[in-house]
Amino acid sequence: MTSESQNKLLARRLLEEVVNTGAVEHLSDFLAPEYVSPDVGIAGIDQAREHLLTFHHCYPDMVVTVEGQVAEGDIVATWYVMRATHLVSFGGVPATGKKITLRGVNVQRIRDGRIVEHWGGSNSLEALLELGVVRRASDLGAAGPPQPGAAPNGGPATPIANSEVTEWPPRRPDC
């Protein structure tokens, strides 16, 4: 087996054996002590463990299915689908009991048989639409004036009365 094949298998096994099962006691079999995920502010195995436990707390029936992978050198890209039920408040959205689908991509750097760096992205809008938190513009009729607090030119949103800006990543117990 080539090192690229071994790297893809490691990334797949992390999802199947740890993420899907919640077996966080095995994270050190997959992640290096110096593991970082800069896009969500995670540094180290302990923070990765807490992040994963948060998802399992909010989505206890979560299942991630690998749809494909590519590898080049020490980098593996994995695209996946997560399916789960929104059972606990998450990111400031009260529990709905609705099923969600979240599609995403992980990009991981692997050194000496362990993941040292992780970057990821997912289509959160897809899940927010399923939860009814946001609606498609076409469902709203004709476009109206900009809403209060809307971010100009893609800048940060401004909180408006009776609202708050939610910090990411969310923390337990109110995920």
* Per-residue pLDDT tens digits for 36-69: 999 999 999 999 999 999 988 988 999 999 999 9
Task: Work out the burial of residue 153: count CB atoms within 10 Å of its CB; fewer than 13 is exposed, 13-18 middle, 19 or more buried.
Answer: exposed
Tell me how far apart the alpha carbons of residues 103 and 9 are, in angstroms, rounded to a whole number: 20
Nearest Cα to Cα of residue 28 among 8, 9, 15, 14: 14
Tell me how far apart the alpha carbons of residues 73 and 23 are, in angstroms, rounded to a whole number: 28
Q: Are 110 and 10 in contact (CB under 8 A)?
A: yes
Q: What is the pTM of this model?
A: 0.77
Tell me how far apart the alpha carbons of residues 116 and 80 are, in angstroms, rounded to a whole number: 20
Amino acid identity for residue 6 in this structure: Q
Q: What are the domain boundaries of the chain?
A: 3-135
- Note the maximum CA span of the chain: 58
Instruction: Give tens-digit pLDDT for 92-113.
Output: 888 889 999 999 999 999 999 9
pLDDT value at residue 144: 54
Q: Would you place residue 124 in the very low, low, confident or very high pLDDT band (cuts 50, 70, 90)?
A: confident
Query: 74 pLDDT exceeds 80?
Result: yes
* CB proximity list for 120: less than 8 A, separation 6 or greater: 37, 39, 40, 104, 105, 106, 107
**Token duo for residue 146:** 């900009």
Nearest Cα to Cα of residue 52 among 10, 76, 23: 23
Architecture of domain 3-135: Roll (3.10)
